[in-house]
Structure 1
Amino acid sequence: MILPLQVNAEELTIYALTAENGRFQPETIVVPAGRRFKIVITNKGPGPEEFESIELRKETVLAPGVTRTLVFAPMKPGTYKFFGEFHKDTAQGRIVVK
């Protein structure tokens, strides 16, 4: 006999992030502490870009026109930096957890 499982899935808040012309928009994403969330990253630029955060151990490379989703575990309050490997001087941002 197979019994149905009840799953209480937490609905994750989604934040949009765009990489274009060597920059991330928005540069700051504010999220609540202690809750999982998603960031949907779209590369609207003509070349590749990377989302990388050493602090958060997240990294993904996006070809032009590609969209990727990253899921983040609950985080403690603080500021966590991210950057684009292909445009280190200008593609910078932060996730502020409150």
Structure 2
Amino acid sequence: MPSRLFRHVRFAGLLLAAAAATSARADDMPVIKVEMRDGVILPAVIEVPANTRFKLEISNTGQSPVEFESTELKREKALAAGSTSAIVFRTLDAGTYQVFDDFHPEAKATLVAK
């Protein structure tokens, strides 16, 4: 009986260690901040790490809804005025990708992975 209890305790410890490792990896992920505001995307050139998992944190500081979109990246994220959300990219090949605000066609930016 004690050996069975030991195995359960050891298994629980392994689960906790795995959860802590996953949390640590998420905390180590680079976070790149983007601001969208009524037809403007800042910065106009968004630099991100290539071949690395990262989080793109998008804040809508304007008065109207926005939609961060990239046809090339096959990603989009709609945000209400005053909200913040994120898109996690597993990896991205080095290169240049166009992004835009689907609700404000004049708002364009370039995402550069290097």
What TM-score do the two structures reach when normalised by structure 1?
0.89
Residue 21 of structure 1, CA deviation: 2.5
**Are the aligned partners of 2:38 and 2:66 in contact in 1 as well (CA < 8 Å)?**
no
The higher radius of gyration belongs to: 2
Pairs within 5 Å for 1:1-98: 1=8, 2-3=11-12, 4-5=14-15, 6-7=17-18, 8-9=21-22, 10=25, 11-88=28-105, 90-98=106-114
Residue 80 of structure 1, CA deviation: 1.0
Q: Distance in 2 between matches of 1:22 and 1:12?
A: 29
Higher relative strand content: 1
Q: Distance in 1 between matches of 2:49 and 2:62?
A: 29
How many residues are aligned here?
Answer: 97
Q: Distance in 2 between matches of 1:63 and 1:49?
A: 7
What TM-score do the two structures reach when normalised by structure 2?
0.78
Task: State the SS of the aligned residue for 1:35.
Answer: coil
Residue 26 of structure 1, CA deviation: 0.5
Give RMSD over aligned pairs. Answer: 1.3
Task: State the SS of the aligned residue for 2:103.
Answer: helix
Identity %: 37
* Runs (5+) with no aligned partner, structure 2: 1-7
Residue 32 of structure 1, CA deviation: 2.0
Residue 57 of structure 1, CA deviation: 1.3
| Deviation beyond 6 Å, 4+ runs, structure 1 | none
Higher relative helix content: 2
